[in-house]
């Protein structure tokens, strides 16, 4: 999924730590929602919602329907601002590659969204259905049920899900650290190379400097 470049949502900034919008951004989003709320019900119906998501993302029709059904948990046929805000945060998290962080920070609402039947348990099919939103890979999903399904019923309750989010968050942080270290290493090498180049340009030879040192001390 990708956000349309230059669209209103594209300009919003999602806080990387808390995965939330600033008050100023939320205010702008309220205005935007108000503009789309044609029938003044403080909600968006399925048609408006479809055209909105179709306009700002590259999601397909069936995916948009899945998202709508996920957000319209009460089956009212319309979604309010709370759900709209949640969706925008999910979209921005995905755009900024912050899926793990988002699930970790908002584990409860995400769990409630994934728990379609309201049984307080999530099956693998639910995860699979929303894969395009949260980008949980197949292998990750297999590991998830293998490692965290403590009750052994092939479904995750909230505590198990929370454990998974903590684990995936740790993994994500480790990978981020590794990436940063990889980035830092070439910089060090480059700086070392630069020093040696500078010395050679200035005509400073290590052997010369050592011999000079010896001469001076002799």
Partner 1 sequence: MEEKPFKALAKSSGHRGSGKSSPHDIRNLCTTATQSQPKLNVPLPTVREDSELEGSSVGSTTCWSYNQKAGHDSDGGWEESDDGEDKDSFKPEELDEHALMELEMRRGSSLGGPLEEDDSKTDDEKSSSVSSLNISKHTPHRAYWVEQQSRLPLPLTELMENEALEILTKALRSYRSEIGRDHFLTKQLQRYIEGLKRRRNKRLQVMVI
Residues engaged in binding partner 1 (CB under 8 A): 7-8, 11, 27-28, 31-32, 35-36, 38-39, 47-48, 50-52, 54-56
Rank residues 49 and 111 by Cβ distance to partner 1 and give the closer one. 49
Give whichever of 47 and 201 is closer to partner 1, judged by the CB atom. 47
Q: Tell me how far, at minimum, the Cβ of 90 lies from partner 1, in Å.
A: 19
The DSSP result for 173-188, as a single string, is HHHHHHHHHHHHHHHH
Q: Least CB distance from residue 54 to partner 1, whole Å?
A: 8
CB 49 within 8 A of CB 64: yes
C-beta closer to partner 1: residue 65 or 140: 65
Q: Which two tokens stand for residue 187?
A: 């910089």
Residue 36 or 190 having the CB closest to partner 1: 36
In angstroms, the CA 113 to CA 126 distance is 10
Q: How far is the CB of 85 from partner 1 (least distance, A)?
A: 16
Go through 98-121 and write b for each residue having 16 or more CB atoms within 10 A of its CB, e for each that does not: bbbbbbbbbbebbbbbbbbeeeeb
Q: Could you give the CA distance from residue 144 to residue 142 in angstroms, rounded to a whole number?
A: 5
- Kindly state the smallest distance separating residue 47's Cβ from partner 1, in Å: 5
The CA distance from 67 to 62, in Å, is 9
* Beta bridge partner(s), residue 79: 44
Minimum distance of partner 1 from residue 129's CB (angstroms): 25
Cβ nearer to partner 1, comparing 26 with 129: 26
């Amino acid at each position: 999924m990708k956000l349309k470049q230059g669209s209103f949502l594209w300009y919003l900034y999602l806080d990387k730590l808390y995965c939330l919008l600033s008050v100023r951004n939320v205010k702008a989003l309220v205005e935007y929602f108000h503009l789309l709320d044609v029938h003044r019900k403080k909600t968006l119906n399925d048609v408006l919602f479809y055209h909105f998501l179709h306009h700002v993302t590259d999601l397909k029709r069936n995916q948009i329907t899945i998202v709508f059904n996920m957000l319209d948990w009460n089956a009212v046929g319309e979604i309010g601002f709370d759900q709209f805000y949640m969706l925008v945060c999910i979209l921005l998290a995905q755009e900024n590659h912050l899926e793990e962080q988002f699930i970790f920070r908002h584990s409860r609402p995400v769990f409630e969204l994934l728990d379609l039947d309201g049984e307080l348990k999530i099956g693998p099919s639910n995860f699979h259905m929303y894969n395009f939103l949260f980008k949980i890979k197949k292998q990750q999903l297999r590991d998830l049920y293998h490692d965290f399904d403590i009750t052994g019923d092939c479904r995750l309750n909230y505590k198990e899900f929370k454990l998974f989010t903590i684990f995936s968050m740790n993994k994500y942080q480790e990978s981020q650290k590794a990436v940063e270290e990889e980035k830092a290493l070439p910089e060090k090498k480059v700086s070392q190379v630069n020093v040696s180049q500078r010395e050679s340009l200035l005509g400073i030879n290590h052997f010369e400097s050592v011999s000079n040192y010896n001469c001076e001390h002799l």
